[in-house]
Amino acid sequence: MPKKKVIIIAEAGVNHNGDIKLAKKLIDVAKNSGADYIKFQAFSSHALVISKLKAAKYQEKNLKKKIKQLELLKRLELKKDDYINIINYCNKKKIKYLFSVFDIKSLNFLLSLGIKKIKIPSGEVDNYPLLRLIAQQKMKVFVSTGMCSLKDVEKTINILKKYRLKSNNIIIMHCNTDYPTKIEDVNLKAMITMGLKFKSLIGYSDHTAGFETAIAAIALGANVIEKHITISKKLNGPDHIASMEPDVFRNYVKLIRNTSLLLGKGTKKPSKSEKKNMKLVKKSIVANLEIKKGHLFSEQNLTCKRPAGGISPYRWKNVIGKKAKKNYKEDDLIIL
């Protein structure tokens, strides 16, 4: 069960389409929906891909055309001033911010801005130089694990720990790198496996179309849920179609919060609302018929009836065989 409040990350990603005004609208959506973080992607196009690399199939499908990754990424790349504007706007709106970082150049720039947390995207879990530099900062790190085997994740965690990043600063995010993810590919139990093996907090980056996966993830112990958001699925871009629009995301956050509440803290005890009903619903040991002083209490002359407040039926065996110290009428509470 989640031990703390579930962290909800609204993944803006590249759904700003390179427009800082749209980025600010996404921040507003995240804030107004009750998310804890808004997350963007930090990358330098030329530091990320070779010039001839084609876009991923899901990107071409969502864009409805073939395109090189470099061309696509250039359109979606943020300028240095944009990062500063995003951070300042998040501070103004009082929402936490997070960046997925894809290359050392972008990481160094973010570090110069004083960031304290970072997300390692699935495609960078084997990027040794980047992992080393991140680990050396001793910051809180979210590690995405799409396209990874358990062995891959172990290698990544070992690199981070080698450079002195402590386990309590690592949050492992299970996900599937397909947009949208098919239900049969979710495999939520793998999230539990990673949490147990690496003794780490766990989370889920939700790329499915509905609500049920996030709810199930929380029930299984997820401490973090991440979800792509967009102003409109109709906008042109690789991730809009697999993202949630504002009204839907607001309901998504509400369901997550409600799920966390209904799971509780794991301690079995009467709730505050139950306590007011306990006396009326629970029972006491009472006389089943008239009992004269000095007679022995027996299975025949005693019974259990509402309300509580007398001797608990748990003490039945302690009462049977004892002498009555007074006369009792039917339904009188027994006193020892």
- What is the spatial distance between Cα 100 and Cα 14, in angstroms, rounded to a whole number? 11
Q: Which two tokens stand for residue 139?
A: 């910051």
Note the pTM of the prediction, 2 decimals.
Answer: 0.88
The residue among 232, 231, 174, 237 whose CA lies nearest residue 208 is 174
Q: C-alpha angle with apex 225: 219 to 231, nearest 5 degrees?
A: 135
Strands of the chain (E only): list them. Answer: 7-13, 37-42, 96-101, 117-120, 140-144, 170-175, 201-206, 224-228, 284-287, 302-305
- What is the spatial distance between Cα 219 and Cα 259, in angstroms, rounded to a whole number? 8
Residue 63: the pLDDT is 73
Residue 2: the pLDDT is 43
Residue 136: the pLDDT is 97
pLDDT tens-place values along the chain, 336 residues long: 445 789 999 999 999 999 999 999 999 999 999 999 999 999 999 999 998 888 877 777 777 788 888 888 999 999 999 999 999 999 999 999 999 999 999 999 999 999 999 999 999 999 999 999 999 999 999 999 999 999 999 999 999 999 999 999 999 999 999 989 999 999 999 999 999 999 999 999 999 999 999 999 999 999 999 999 999 999 988 889 999 999 999 999 999 999 999 999 889 999 999 999 999 999 999 999 999 999 999 999 999 999 999 999 999 999 999 999 999 999 999 999
- What is the spatial distance between Cα 303 and Cα 297, in angstroms, rounded to a whole number? 10
Residue 3: the pLDDT is 52
User: How long is the chain?
Assistant: 336
Beta bridge partners of 172: 143, 202
Q: Which domains does the chain have, with CATH numbers?
A: 7-263 (3.20.20.70), 272-319 (no CATH)
- What is the spatial distance between Cα 133 and Cα 130, in angstroms, rounded to a whole number? 5
Residue 1: the pLDDT is 41
CA torsion, points 250, 251, 252, 255, in degrees to nearest 10?
130
- What is the spatial distance between Cα 239 and Cα 63, in angstroms, rounded to a whole number? 9
- What is the spatial distance between Cα 198 and Cα 178, in angstroms, rounded to a whole number? 25
Residue 126: the pLDDT is 97
